[in-house]
Amino acid sequence: MASLSQFLSRTTPPLSNSIISTPLPLKPFHQASSWKLSHSRRRIFTVQSKIREIFMPALSSTMTEGKIVSWIKSEGDVLSKGESVVVVESDKADMDVETFYDGILAAIVVPEGESAPVGAPIGILAETEDEIAEAKAKASSASTPKSEAVVTPTPPPATSTPAPAISQPHPIKSTETVSSGPKKIVATPYAKKLAKQHKVDINSVVPTGPYGRITAEDVEKAAGIAPSKNVAPAVATSAPAASPKPAAATILPPIPGSTVVPFTSMQGAVSKNMIESLKVPTFRVGYPMTTNALDALYEKVKPKGVTMTALLAKATAMTLVQHPVVNATCKDGKSFTYNNNINIAVAVAINGGLITPVLQDADKMDLYLLSQKWKELVEKARAKQLQPHEYNSGTFTLSNLGMFGVDRFDAILPPGQGAIMAVGASKPTVVADADGFFSVKSKMVVNVTADHRIIYGADLAGFLQTFSKIIENPESLTF
């Protein structure tokens, strides 16, 4: 498992912060030493103990929630600083998470197999054995919102309709039962924005999200704004509120005998990225090229451990050196971002999803080192052990389905990149030369999808011409 020292925790207020002392009258200067001695004898310090909330860390920039794969430690185990405690599945990989503190794992809030949003408590760490009982009580209070949501499914329909109109008698009651001690308010960024916009005190909002998280719907209720799903059948003035919820209109009745399987964290991240990608104006250009010389080179270097993916990645990197605009990105819709490094991300299908390990500085590595690095990345990807910089630093993506016999396809542009190249299979094709003589040669078609805000047709045409020359005369790949 990969190791990541991002085990974050919050410290609850100490049980006692008082210093008991007896006030003394002012003494003359010559009696100062005796005054200090008397004062030090009379002071009694209370030992301060700490109970820390272990919360779900953000293991990548796109992670919004994590799944507990396994707890390495059990309740009651003594922990040392830097020791691995839990394995968390992010949207890209499984990672060991270490603790920054010594202590005792007093309680596990989120068990194995369950998920929690980033920032939600997943365990409680006590400093000494005396605090274990209090820590367990804190853990049970942290999981109370979840149990309350399950225990009271019937009453909400009666109270959910008037709740926005009749201020907050019912919410205040539930808040009192849930909060047995000082608790940090956890809310989504959009919920905080809504609260500020509608002048709603976030501390008075009743959370209904997982693990006591305040959602945008909770803030709308507190502000007296009915959620769009409740307002849909209401008056014509609420029509705009229904428009931002197209998902409700696309839900189709289930087909008899079908089974619904929820996305894994990785599949959810892929889905989100693909939807984000479709917002970018793209265009596609295809280009056929002869691969006889490349196939011959591959047969020569294959015994040395070189893969076809490494050959294609090296050829792509050498081409990008001559066409830097195709290696550029548009992040704000107003400017070009030219990347100094050429990092080739290669799409890899793994169990339960898709990931793009990155060959960093591919133009500066020789073919054999590049191939060795690629093998290491694939092994780590399939074991879900990639570090964030090994899958999110790509500047250009390569997707190869030729190994499966696919002759041509289009790829969807990944967010934050300028172009992606889809490589099809090399197949025998009848071609005619300039003199009209026919022959059979191996040819493949590559299609490039590019961001039209920064890359134009002439840019891609020039890029593909250079790439074709390298593929058809691949001797430079081994230098």
**Cα–Cα distance measured from residue 5 to residue 175, given in angstroms and rounded to the nearest whole number:** 35
**Cα–Cα distance measured from residue 5 to residue 8, given in angstroms and rounded to the nearest whole number:** 9
316 and 327 Cβ atoms separated by less than 8 Å: no
The continuous run of DSSP H or E covering 193 comes out as helix 189-197
**Cα–Cα distance measured from residue 43 to residue 52, given in angstroms and rounded to the nearest whole number:** 28
DSSP string, 223-241: TTPPPHHHHTTS-GGGHHH
Q: Which two tokens stand for residue 306?
A: 């070189």
**Cα–Cα distance measured from residue 169 to residue 164, given in angstroms and rounded to the nearest whole number:** 11
**Cα–Cα distance measured from residue 310 to residue 306, given in angstroms and rounded to the nearest whole number:** 7
Place of tokens 């000082």: 182
Place of tokens 């008075």: 204
Number of C-beta neighbours around residue 349 at 10 A = 12
Classify residue 423 by its DSSP letter. Answer: E
- 3 state SS of 368: helix
45 and 19 Cβ atoms separated by less than 8 Å: yes
**Cα–Cα distance measured from residue 162 to residue 338, given in angstroms and rounded to the nearest whole number:** 55
User: Exactly one of 30, 39, 323, 452 is catalytic; which is it?
Assistant: 452
Place of tokens 């009696």: 31
Classify residue 478 by its DSSP letter. Answer: G
**Cα–Cα distance measured from residue 402 to residue 454, given in angstroms and rounded to the nearest whole number:** 28
| Phi, psi dihedral angles at 42 (to 5 degrees) | -85, -15
Residue partners of 9: CB distance under 8 A and separation at least 6 = 52, 53, 54, 55, 99, 100, 101, 125
| Phi, psi dihedral angles at 464 (to 5 degrees) | -70, -35
- 3 state SS of 324: helix
In the chain, DSSP finds a helix count (H) and a strand count (E) of 15, 23
**Cα–Cα distance measured from residue 358 to residue 362, given in angstroms and rounded to the nearest whole number:** 9
Is residue 30 part of the annotated active site? The answer reads: no
Burial zone of 468 (CB within 10 Å; 0-12 exposed, 13-18 middle, 19+ buried):
middle
Kindly give the interhelix angle for 292-301 and 457-472, rounded to the nearest 10 degrees.
Answer: 50
Return the active site residues.
Answer: 452
